[in-house]
Amino acid sequence: EWTSEPVRGPVTAQVSAHGDARPARLVSVDRLRWESPQPRVAPGQAVVLYDGDVVVGGATAASARPA
């Protein structure tokens, strides 16, 4: 559930506390597409979205289907 207007367009997304945030795009309110394949995304993982250094959203991964 969004607490403000959903973010649209390019973001970076991070799924591991020790991993890097990678370029991605929100294609709908509940769907994210990375610019390159991300092999370590599993259902149940937290996904944190950034605009630069600012956290703009987060969710729990429901699935990790290739685009």
Q: What is the pTM of this model?
A: 0.79
Q: Which residue, 56, 53, 44, 51, is CA-closest to 16?
A: 44
Burial of 61 (0-12, 13-18, 19+ CB in 10 A): middle
Measured on CA atoms in the order 1, 5, 36, 22, is the torsion positive or negative?
negative
Mean pLDDT over 13-33 rounds to 87
Q: Whole-angstrom Cα distance, residue 55 to residue 62?
A: 20
Mean pLDDT for the chain overall: 83
- Decide: 50 and 58 in contact? Cβ < 8 Å: no
Mean pLDDT over 4-28 rounds to 84
Q: Is the pLDDT of residue 22 over 90?
A: yes
